[in-house]
């Protein structure tokens, strides 16, 4: 009994202690697999409007197998849409469905030697979903009712940890964007809530707003001289906006026009907090492209994703970018899909345009 209590205590320490690690969830998922006497534990986080998972982590799994799942089988996975917060087995969930409806995915499971899976889906107010999966391979025993009950007891902790992760990701991205803008990039950043109230702003944004032309503060409310600019922002704040960043020019005859990039706050995996939209302001004539570190902080990219985005923004094709970075083309494609999800764009040309626009 003491050993079980100690094992649970160590698992929870890995869960809460690893949220703000450089590689969040890795240590916990490895510990979860061991705690459940399984081969793998997986976390998948999905966000509204995105066809690909924003987060997919399975420590110890074959990278090619994971890439195959993301690229080909994620959309076909029938083990989703579980009753919220209820731990279920793969076989139990699909028991009422004809096998031909998921025959292709069953083939993938056989190739991966994944004999059985239990999972739980957690859904959150802003529309994102966290799917936890625990997998045993064919040589391991069946999951028993006490295994399901054991996992079910962990659900409140998983829910709390994901909520904390969401808040930390938002705060970290907001701070990172401020820091990047202050490091000579000449980007003013304003974070708005859904009522167009200013949650926070960096010093350059304060200076631009204080000039009182084109865009300025009215109390804590961001206002625009051009009604069309205000409508653009209001549309993004009031609708379930999923078309990526909106870019427009704010005309200022006296102080010089501003290039504005507005994007819903969607930092690594989830994004939330009181802020709903980030407005990035730059002045034309700034020719230097953002560095990988700046892109990492502005959009919550991993170091590898930021290097790839920066290389592509410099004019390289995906094939040439992969070659110059010393990575496989398939790896570059997976990283690029993640960059698309985090920046809110859908095509490579849009990504190049967004990064170029940030530099004015």
Could you report the per-residue pLDDT of 293-341, keeping only the tens digit for each?
778 767 778 888 989 998 888 778 888 889 889 988 888 998 998 888 8
For residue 33 the two structure tokens come to: 């697999």
Mean predicted confidence (pLDDT) in 262-287 = 61
Q: Check whether 267 has a pLDDT greater than 60.
A: no
Q: Check whether 37 has a pLDDT greater than 90.
A: yes
- Taking the C-alpha atoms of 346, 348, 306 and 293 in order, what is their torsion angle to the nearest 10 degrees? -100
Q: Check whether 21 has a pLDDT greater than 80.
A: no
Instruction: Quickly list DSSP for 287-349.
Output: -PPPPHHHHHHHHT--HHHHHHHHHHHTT--HHHHHHHHT--HHHHHHHHHHHHHHHT--SHH
Contact 207, 294 (CB under 8 A): no
Enter the pTM of the model.
0.54
Q: Which of 107-121, 127-141, 184-198, 220-234 bottoms out in mean pLDDT, i.e. has the lowest?
A: 184-198
Which of residues 74 and 225 earns the better pLDDT score? 225
For residue 28 the two structure tokens come to: 């916990």
Instruction: Quickly list DSSP for 143-194.
Output: P-HHHHHHHHTTHHHHHHHHHHHHHHHHHHHHHHHHHHIIIII--EEEEE-T
Q: Calculate what percentage of the chain has a pLDDT beyond 90.
A: 21
What is the C-alpha separation between 342 and 239, in angstroms, rounded?
19
The radius of gyration computed from the CA coordinates of the chain, to the nearest angstrom, equals: 23
Which of residues 343 and 146 earns the better pLDDT score? 146
Which of residues 99 and 226 earns the better pLDDT score? 226
End-to-end CA separation in angstroms for the chain: 63
Could you report the per-residue pLDDT of 133-175, keeping only the tens digit for each?
999 988 888 899 999 999 999 999 999 988 888 766 655 555 5
Q: How confident is the model at residue 2 (pLDDT cuts 50, 70, 90)?
A: low
Query: Which residue ranges form the domains of the chain, and what is each CATH number?
Result: 2-153 (3.30.450.80), 170-358 (3.30.450.20)
- Taking the C-alpha atoms of 90, 96, 102 and 108 in order, what is their torsion angle to the nearest 10 degrees? 30
Which of residues 276 and 124 earns the better pLDDT score? 124
Q: How confident is the model at residue 49 (pLDDT cuts 50, 70, 90)?
A: low
Instruction: Using the Cα atoms of residue 311, residue 312, residue 313 and residue 316 in order, give the sign of their dihedral.
Output: positive
Q: Residue 247, Cα to own-chain centre: how many angstroms?
A: 21
What is the C-alpha separation between 196 and 288, in angstroms, rounded?
30
Could you report the per-residue pLDDT of 58-100, keeping only the tens digit for each?
998 888 877 878 777 787 788 888 999 999 998 888 787 776 6
Average pLDDT, the chain: 80
Q: Check whether 115 has a pLDDT greater than 80.
A: no
Maximum C-alpha span of the chain: 74
Instruction: Using the Cα atoms of residue 341, residue 346, residue 351 and residue 354 in order, give the sign of their dihedral.
Output: negative
Contact 80, 131 (CB under 8 A): yes
Length of the chain: 360
């Amino acid at each position: 009994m003491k050993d079980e209590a100690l094992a649970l205590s160590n698992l929870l320490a890995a869960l809460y202690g690893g949220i703000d690690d450089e590689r969040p969830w890795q240590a916990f998922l490895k510990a979860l697999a061991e705690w459940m006497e399984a081969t793998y534990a997986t976390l998948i986080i999905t966000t509204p409007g995105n066809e690909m998972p924003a987060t997919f982590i399975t420590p110890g799994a074959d990278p090619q197998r994971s890439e195959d799942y993301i690229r080909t089988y994620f959309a076909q996975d029938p083990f989703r849409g579980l009753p919220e917060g209820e731990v279920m087995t793969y076989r139990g969930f699909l028991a009422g469905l004809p096998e031909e409806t998921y025959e292709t995915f069953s083939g993938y499971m056989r190739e991966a030697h994944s004999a059985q899976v239990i999972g739980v889906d957690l859904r959150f107010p802003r529309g994102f979903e966290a799917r936890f999966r625990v997998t045993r391979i064919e040589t391991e025993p069946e999951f028993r009712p006490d295994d399901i009950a054991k996992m079910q007891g962990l659900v409140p902790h998983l829910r709390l940890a994901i909520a904390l992760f969401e808040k930390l990701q938002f705060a970290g991205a907001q701070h990172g964007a401020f820091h990047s803008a202050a490091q000579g990039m000449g980007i003013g950043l304003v974070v708005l809530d859904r009522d167009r109230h200013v949650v926070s702003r960096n010093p350059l944004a304060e200076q631009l707003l204080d000039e009182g032309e084109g865009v300025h503060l009215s109390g804590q409310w961001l206002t625009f001289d051009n009604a069309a600019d205000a409508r653009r922002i209001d549309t993004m704040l009031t609708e379930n906006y999923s078309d990526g960043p909106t870019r427009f020019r704010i005309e200022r005859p006296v102080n010089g026009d501003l290039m504005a990039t507005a994007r819903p706050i969607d930092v690594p995996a989830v994004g939330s907090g009181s802020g709903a939209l980030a407005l990035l302001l730059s002045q034309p004539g700034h020719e230097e492209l953002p560095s990988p570190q700046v892109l990492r902080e502005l959009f919550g990219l991993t170091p590898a994703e930021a290097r790839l985005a920066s290389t592509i923004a410099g004019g390289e094709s995906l094939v040439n970018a992969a070659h110059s970075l010393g990575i496989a083309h398939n790896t570059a494609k997976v990283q690029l899909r993640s960059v698309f999800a985090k920046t809110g764009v859908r095509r490579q040309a849009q990504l190049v345009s967004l990064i170029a626009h940030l530099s004015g």
